[in-house]
Chains A and B, each alone.
Chain A
């Protein structure tokens, strides 16, 4: 009942509704696209280079004769799964360490906060580049680097918010009644922080997807022939006059996903 009411309350915000629709469409494309659209994203057909849209390739073909639509949906799968994995990998240690720092205080807090500050002193993308340099073009360093850059945000937000919650009269009363840490977390800390986590997840997701695209675009992320939106854009940039759709399609997908996530994260109706 309460869940229903919450959804209804969110439905009243047109921005959230639009954000949810955009993200939903891209995620749907990532999950179902590769199943519905036949073909390999790397299969070349040099006789059909830069072909306009046809029944065979609904969004036309790129400079190596690969179907843009097939590449688009595979790239969506890559971006969405990388974004989700990064958010999880950043959130789990960030939240746990943030709670630990807020709960323990003292030296634990000082050491963890110092570590967080040290990571923050490096620009996020630089950190990603450093890790990517270990194994250029592979998937895992990208994911690891992004998580390493992003956990600090989760850590700091969790530490600050849970610190205030742990100092509240509600927690004091619960402790006086004899409730343990698990109860305090489950009833007082996590439910209050859930909206905050939602916002962080959406922003983090958008940040990760953009970063992957940007790294692909400047040529240090994933390597061709991987189907990735940033790579697709940069590959087709020289052919923009002949096949504008082939470059615009990945750009629009990236735009839709990031805009949708920002709209979802942006405004809390409360």
Chain B
């Protein structure tokens, strides 16, 4: 069978620095290829080179064969006429890629009409069929904001495939999704394969690669370190990096739940919260003791973050009450955020930010420096601004900052969901170490069931509101 996409000896560089070196891939119909790698491994550049959407300052060489059209990788315009017809891209976070002012049916019909060149009536009929095939018949006249995340994902797939492209490119299709939605997306992509298409999927989530099957390619620092059938690569990896990657999956973590709860720090009785007049949860009783880890899980939008904010006193509960232990300053209840960049002043260097927080709490710099060293934050990083350090490093700096207030309770709101698996594992390990040492209680909000099972002594599962 002729492959849908072949890339030979791709090389991408920026200002003389090679970002991707000697990558060759071959995507055949019916066999998905998943490229796994961390941020900066160059996996997205491979997809962009295939599309011809590399940033203008990047220099690319190598050959790209799409169907039976061969062209140079550096020739960005060469494959443009194949967009939608030969190769289609499923955007990251598709609910943002849909036109918010257009109903679902015409949005899908556009591809049939303008890319495939069908008449208006025919295009609408085909779009209706597409939506029916994805179980979306009832949603044809809705606007994107009236769709759930999973439905929006299906509409985006229908819209991307409307032009008739045999090859679908999915860049981080599960980014920001909870596990239920993630399985639904994988099923959706597999459905596209069964319909005779081919698929190139880019992800940092090993679970997606496992669920898709087919072939897996592992990239590190711009090179392919391992390539083979999914079952081989994911069960008997030959490269050390792949082994680390697999070991970093929460499923593979050691069972490290901290059971022992000390004296009670915080208690909530018959708690209820609302958002936009909608009840998120009610009659919730909860007590957290010193050193305890409590995980809160549940689908997106079920009120996990709201619960944490109510416990911290950032939000008023709709009913019930929260009691923090008497005699403890408010600053001893701290919070870690999903996106650490947003929690620092953007134009201020980290050293000044930390020094000011340390001065506020009367912590000498030497003590802070020791903590930063323990969290493996290099001192030189502190002269940068928050957006100039990596997510994992900044999250560890955020941990160090929160510890300045000598907290007894930490609300960790998906603190690692934006990190690569290995960084995620390191960050969690650092947090656990600190917690164990100081008897710090942690309320961990996560959408990762496996992680919740491995680290928390107790779990609260919130239902979809």
Contact = CB atoms under 8 A, between A and B. Distances in A.
B343 interface: yes
A183 interface: yes
A187 B330 CA distance: 21
A86 B342 CA distance: 36
Nearest to A180: B360
B380 interface: no
B356 A176 contact: no
A194 to B, nearest CB: 9
B401 A177 contact: yes
B345 A176 contact: no
Interface string A100-120: 000000000000000000000
B240 to A, nearest CB: 37
A192 B333 CA distance: 28
Given A168-B342, A178-B360, A191-B348, A173 B337 contact: yes
B335 A176 contact: yes
Contacts of A168: 342
Contacts of A192: 346-347
A183 B356 contact: yes
B337 A169 contact: yes
Nearest to B357: A177
Given A169-B337, A187-B348, A191-B348, A177 B360 contact: yes
Interface residues of A, number: 14
Given A169-B337, A172-B335, A177 B405 contact: yes
A179 B401 CA distance: 13
A10 interface: no
A184 to B, nearest CB: 9
Contacts of B333: 176
Contacts of B334: 176-177
Interface residues of B, number: 27
A130 interface: no
B92 interface: no
A169 B343 contact: yes
Given A177-B360, A183-B356, A170 B343 contact: yes
Interface in A222-253: none
Contacts of A187: 345, 348, 353, 356
Contacts of B357: 177, 179
Interface in B295-352: 312, 314, 329-331, 333-335, 337, 339, 342-348
B123 to A, nearest CB: 41
Contacts of B335: 172-173, 176
A178 to B, nearest CB: 4
Contacts of B348: 187, 191
A22 to B, nearest CB: 29
B239 interface: no
Contact of B314 (A170, A172, A191): A172
A192 B348 CA distance: 11
A170 B345 contact: yes
B345 A177 contact: no
Given A177-B331, A177-B404, A191-B347, A170 B342 contact: yes
A171 to B, nearest CB: 9
A177 B342 CA distance: 15
Interface string A163-200: 00000111011001111000100011001100000000
A172 B305 CA distance: 14
Nearest to B314: A172
Contact of B345 (A172, A178, A191): A191
Task: Name the residue in A169, A172, A176, A191 with the highest tally of chain B Cβ atoms < 10 Å from its Cβ.
Answer: A176
Interface centre among A173, A187, A188, A191 (most CB of B within 10 A): A173
Nearest to B339: A169
B331 A176 contact: yes
B376 interface: no
B377 to A, nearest CB: 17
B361 A178 contact: yes
A177 B404 CA distance: 8
B360 A179 contact: yes
Interface in A9-35: none
B142 to A, nearest CB: 29
B405 A178 contact: yes
B355 to A, nearest CB: 12
A178 B331 contact: yes
Contacts of A177: 331, 334, 357, 360-361, 401-402, 404-405
A191 to B, nearest CB: 5
A2 to B, nearest CB: 8
A167 to B, nearest CB: 11
Given A177-B331, A177-B334, A178-B330, A169 B342 contact: yes
B346 to A, nearest CB: 7
A183 B359 CA distance: 13
Nearest to B344: A170
Nearest to B333: A176
B361 A173 contact: no
Contacts of A178: 329-331, 360-361, 405
Contacts of A170: 342-346
5 contacts: A170-B343, A173-B343, A178-B360, A187-B345, A191-B345
Given A172-B314, A178-B329, A192-B346, 19 more contacts: A169-B342, A172-B343, A173-B337, A173-B401, A176-B314, A176-B330, A176-B331, A176-B333, A177-B331, A177-B357, A177-B401, A177-B404, A177-B405, A178-B361, A178-B405, A179-B357, A179-B360, A187-B348, A191-B345
Can you list the 8 inter-chain pairs with the closest CB atoms, starting with the nearest?
A178-B331, A173-B343, A169-B342, A169-B343, A187-B345, A170-B343, A191-B347, A188-B345
